[in-house]
Structure 1
Amino acid sequence: MTPTIAQRPGVAVAGSIVQRQPLLFRRLWIDQPTLVLVEAGYKVLHGAAGTFRVEAGQAVALAGGQAFDVTNYLGAAPAYRARWLAWERGLLEQWRAPAGARPRPVVPLGAVVPAFAEAFTALTQALDDPALPDAVVGHRALEMLVWLEGAGSLLLAETQLAPRVRRLLAGDPAREWRSPEVAAQFAMSEASLRRHLAAEDSSLSEILLDVRMSTALTLLQSTAQPVTRIAGEVGYQSPSQFAVRFRRRFGCSPTDIRRDHPRGGASVKMAGIANSVVRPC
C-alpha cells in the first residue's frame, strides 16, 4: 500500500499510512471526527477517554476536538498499515444523530465486516475521482456515518474555542496568522481571544505551531512529498528550522517517520500496555 491522501473539499479527506518502525506520537490532536481502520500491526491510543487498542482488521471512531498519545506497532507484520477518514464540516452539517443519542468521544468498532471495508474503499476512490459530482461523493461519505450510527458511534459537538481556532488555522497552516484577523473570525476582540484561549490553557501561537507540526506529520505519513516541500506547505522556508521544530514537538526528525528501521529505541509503557521497544516521537 502506497501512502496517499484524497480530499473532496466540504465532504471528507482520507489517507493511508505505512510505517515500518514503531513510533510513539505524543499529544496528537484529532481536529475532525475521524475513522481509523487498521490493516496490519496494531494501534494504541491513550487519552482522557481511556486507553484503546485497535488490532488489524478492526476500526475505531474518534470525535473531533481531543488529543491522544498514539503508538503504531508492527506486531508480526513487516509494517504497520492503516487507512483513515475525516469528515469535513460541510458534510457533517447534513447529518443528524438520532434523538436522545448520547455523545461518545471514542467508539471501538471491533472487527469490521467486508461490506464496511468495501464502503470505505469506495468512498476513498470517490474522493479522488473528478468525474463524480460532489452530491454522489457526499452520499458515500454519509453512508459511512450511517455505518457508525448503527454501531453506536456519535460525534461530539465542539464547545470550546481552541478546537475551532485550530480548524481555522488548519485551513492554511503556512499563513502567518495574526491575532486581529483570528479574533475577527470569531467576532471578538484580541483581548477576548487571548482570555478565552488562556482559560483553556492555550494560546494562538501554541495552536499555530501544533497545527503546523500535526499537518506536517500527516503529510509525512500519508504522502511521498519531499520533506523540503512539506516544510514549505506548513510555513517554513528553512527545512533545517522545520526539522528543529518538528523534533522539539515529536521527539524525532521528519526523516525518522519514513525510516525503514529504527536507530535504536526506548522501552516505554503506556497505561497497562505491555512494554515494547518504541522510539518516542
Structure 2
Amino acid sequence: MEHQNFLIPTGALIRQGGRACFRRIVNTSPLLIRVQSGTKIVMADDKPLRLDAGAYGLLPDYQPLTMENIPKAPQQYQTVALPVPRQLFEEAYARMGSIAVPSTPLPARSSHMPDEAAVLFEYCCQPGNLARLPGAIARARLMELITWFALCGAVLGQSRSPRLEDRLRQMIETDPAFGWTLRHAARSFNMSEATLRRRLAAENTGFSEILSDTRMNRALGLVQMTALSMAQVALEVGYDSPSQFAARFKERFGVSPRHVRSGSEPVERIGAEVEHSGADVLSP
C-alpha cells in the first residue's frame, strides 16, 4: 500500500435522544452530512437552514454554528457525518473550473442528490472502505463526492486567514485529556506566554476559554457518537470528576449529557418557526 499523505476520514453516526440546541459549535474540518432521522436546524450569521430526514448538507470549518437536533418519536435523531480535509475541496473546485465559491463559509444543502452520489457517500462513510484503497484513489473518491455535493448546490466557502484560536483548537484536539497549560501552548507556537496571551486577547478570547470549549465540543461528540459511560467521557476530555464534568457540560450547552443521549429535560428551541411553517429556510 502506498504512503498516505493525508488522514483518511471515517464517517460517524451521530445519535441523540433528546431535543437540544447547541450554540457556538466549531468544526475543525468541513463535514458532509446526511440526516437519517429527525431534523437538523443549522444557523450561521443569522441564516438558519433546515435539513429533514434524507437531506444532505455541508457544514463549514472554523465557523461558529448554532445547531438544533430534533428527534422524531419514536426514533432518535440520527445523522451520518463525514469529515473531509479542506484541501480536497479546494482541489476539487479547481478541477471543476467554473464553480462559484462563496466568499463566506456557511452551511449549505445539497439538493436532489442522484443515486450514484448517495451510494458513493455511503461507501466513503463506511469504516475501512477508504483506508483499504491506495491514497490516490481514496483522494479521487472523496473529490468525486465533493464534486457531486457542489453540483447539487453545496459548495464550501472560501477559507479565511487562520486565527491563532483555530490553531490552538487543533492542538488541543489531538489530546483533549492532556493537562494543557498556557506554557505548553506558547512553546508549541514558539512564542512567550505574554505574547500568546496578548494575541489571543486581540481575537477576543483566552487560553482557558479555548481549552474548555474545545474539550466540551469533543465531549459532545463522544456523547453523541459513542456508548462510553459519562465517567469515561469525562476522563477522555480531562475531567477526573464526572459530576464536575456534567456541571460544566450543562453550563456550556444548557442541557445535561444524559439528556442528549436519552431526552429528559425541557430545552430552548430555535426550530419552532421552521416546524410550524414547513419552510426550508427561516427568515432571520
What TM bracket, shorter-length normalisation? 0.7 to 0.9
Residues matched between the structures, number: 266
Query: In the superposition, relative to structure 1, how do residues 233 and 49 fare at CA in structure 2: closer, same or farther (>3 Å)?
Result: same
- Using CA pairs under 8 Å that are at least 6 residues apart, name the structure with larger relative contact order, 1 or 2: 2
Partner of 1:105: 105
Indicate yes or no: 2:163 matched with 1:166: no
Rounded Cα–Cα distance in structure 1 between residues aligned with 2:175 and 2:203: 23
Range with bigger deviation, 235-244 or 206-215? 235-244
Q: Percent identity?
A: 32
**Equivalent residue, structure 2, for 1:148:** 149
- Structure-2 change in CA distance of 1:158 and 1:267 (3 Å): closer
Q: Distance in 1 between matches of 2:194 and 2:84?
A: 32
Which runs of 5 or more structure 1 residues have no equivalent in the other structure?
Answer: 1-7, 276-281
1:93 deviates by: 8.8
Q: Of 59, 62, 65, which residue of structure 2 is paired with 1:65?
A: 62
Conserved 8 A contact 2:123-2:129: no
Task: Provide TM-score, normalisation by structure 2.
Answer: 0.81
Match of 1:10, SS? Answer: coil
2:127 & 2:90 partners in 1: Cα distance?
Answer: 18
Q: Is the 8 A contact 1:40 1:77 kept in 2?
A: no
Q: Could you tell me how far apart the structure 2 residues matched to 1:174 and 1:71 are? A: 27
User: Contact 1:12–1:141 at 8 Å: present in 2 too?
Assistant: no
State the Cα deviation string for residues 7-56 of structure 1 (Å, max 9, x = none): x9723242112223321112211221112211222111122161111122
1:112-137 per-residue CA deviation (whole Å, 9 max, x = no partner) reads: 32222211111122546764454443
Q: Single out whichever of 138-147 and 14-23 deviates more from structure 2.
A: 138-147
Give the AA of the match of 1:153. Answer: V
| Structure 1 residue 272: Cα displacement | 4.7
Tell me which protein shows more strand as a share of its residues.
1
User: What is residue 91 of structure 2 aligned with on the other side?
Assistant: 95
RMSD, aligned α-carbons: 2.8
Distance 1:103 1:144, change over 3 A: farther
The aligned residue for residue 84 of structure 1 is 81
Counterparts of 1:94 and 1:108, CA distance in 2: 18
Deviation at 1:245, TM superposition (A): 1.3
Give the 3-state SS of the residue equivalent to 1:139 in structure 2.
helix
Gaps of 5+ in 2: 277-284
Query: What is aligned with 1:220?
Result: 223
Distance in 2 (CA, whole Å) between partners of 1:130 and 1:145 is 18
Distance 1:231 1:102 in 2: 38
67-76 or 113-122, larger mean C-alpha shift: 67-76
Map Cα deviations across residues 161-198 of structure 1 (whole Å, 9 max, x no partner): 21221112111111111223322333333222212211
Q: TM-score, normalised by structure 1?
A: 0.82
User: Are 2:170 and 1:184 equivalent residues in the alignment?
Assistant: no
Is contact 2:11-2:82 (8 Å) kept?
A: yes
Equivalent position SS for 2:83: strand
- C-alpha deviation, 1:144, in angstroms: 2.2
